[in-house]
Chains A and B, each alone.
Chain A
Amino acid sequence: DTAVSQTPKYLVTQMGNDKSIKCEQNLGHDTMYWYKQDSKKFLKIMFSYNNKELIINETVPNRFSPKSPDKAHLNLHINSLELGDSAVYFCASSLWGQDHTEAFFGQGTRLTVV
């Protein structure tokens, strides 16, 4: 069974469109994250939710809106897509407050904006 699963794996869309990426984890974790990896391969954290509450919100355009309907899901909705949003987006999960936090990552969603 896949621990952290993201859908879709690939997403090609036009500028100006609105799209969503879904993430689900079956590990019983209480914290989930979204990371963005750009063409230069840098992994940057975007958001983190703990028990459905937003706890980390990096400097991200407000066109990006995460939503956590429950602890097992963290979706990312992007409005008015721009060329610069093209990247690979990774979802991750972990247990909050553990001294041996091991974050599990999904396989990524490759978003291409044309």
Chain B
Amino acid sequence: DAKTTQPTSMDCAEGRAANLPCNHSTISGNEYVYWYRQIHSQGPQYIIHGLKNNETNEMASLIITEDRKSSTLILPHATLRDTAVYYCIVYNQGGKLIFGQGTELSVKP
């Protein structure tokens, strides 16, 4: 079973930042937070991951709370092509990626 809780859906205006929250209150010390997204009819795509520190790459930023019980994925300037289902996953090295229901993000013009 997925160890994360995400809102079912969110809207975001094009050009604005999209902030996608995720709760993972039962996360263990050696488990990472991963984010993937699935654009309609395509395979899931890796976005970013982190353990304790905040992370940033060319796609997004990941903010993890100090107690690690929640995190937020930030898409700084959302475009229409960012419309997708976003999955927050708690992953244990050597384990398996378990996808929850994800958040359906709609970026609107």
A pairs with B: yes
Query: Which A residues form the contact surface with B (CB < 8 A)?
Result: 4, 33, 35, 41-45, 48, 56, 90, 92, 96-108
Which residues from B are CB-within-8-Å of A33? 96-97
Please state if A96 and B94 are interface contacts (CB–CB under 8 Å).
yes
Please state if A105 and B43 are interface contacts (CB–CB under 8 Å).
yes
Which residues from A are CB-within-8-Å of B36? 103
Query: Which B residues form the contact surface with A (CB < 8 A)?
Result: 32, 36, 38, 41-46, 49, 51, 85, 87, 91, 93-94, 96-99, 101
Please state if B96 and A48 are interface contacts (CB–CB under 8 Å).
yes
Pull 13 A–B residue pairs with CB atoms less than 8 Å apart, ordered by A. Answer: A4-B43, A33-B97, A43-B38, A43-B87, A48-B96, A56-B96, A96-B94, A102-B49, A103-B36, A103-B46, A103-B97, A105-B45, A108-B41
B46 to chain A, nearest CB (A): 4
Please state if B94 and A108 are interface contacts (CB–CB under 8 Å).
no
Q: How far is the CA of A48 from the CA of B97 in the complex (A)?
A: 11
B45, B51, B101: the one contacting A42 at CB < 8 Å is B101
Q: A-B pairs with the 9 shortest C-beta distances?
A: A105-B43, A43-B99, A102-B46, A105-B44, A45-B96, A107-B43, A90-B43, A106-B43, A56-B96
Which residues from B are CB-within-8-Å of A104? 46
Q: How far is the CA of A28 from the CA of B38 in the complex (A)?
A: 23
Which residues from A are CB-within-8-Å of B44? 43, 90, 92, 103, 105
Which residues from B are CB-within-8-Å of A97? 93-94
Q: How far is the CA of A53 from the CA of B46 in the complex (A)?
A: 25
Smallest CB-CB separation from A105: which chain B residue? B43
Q: How far is the CA of A97 from the CA of B41 in the complex (A)?
A: 29
Q: How far is the CA of A35 from the CA of B42 in the complex (A)?
A: 13
B41, B42, B93, B101: the one contacting A98 at CB < 8 Å is B93
Which residues from A are CB-within-8-Å of B85? 41
B37 to chain A, nearest CB (A): 11
Most chain B beta-carbon contacts within 10 A, residue among A43, A56, A92, A100: A43
Also in contact, A108 and B43, with CB within 8 A (given A99-B32, A100-B49): yes
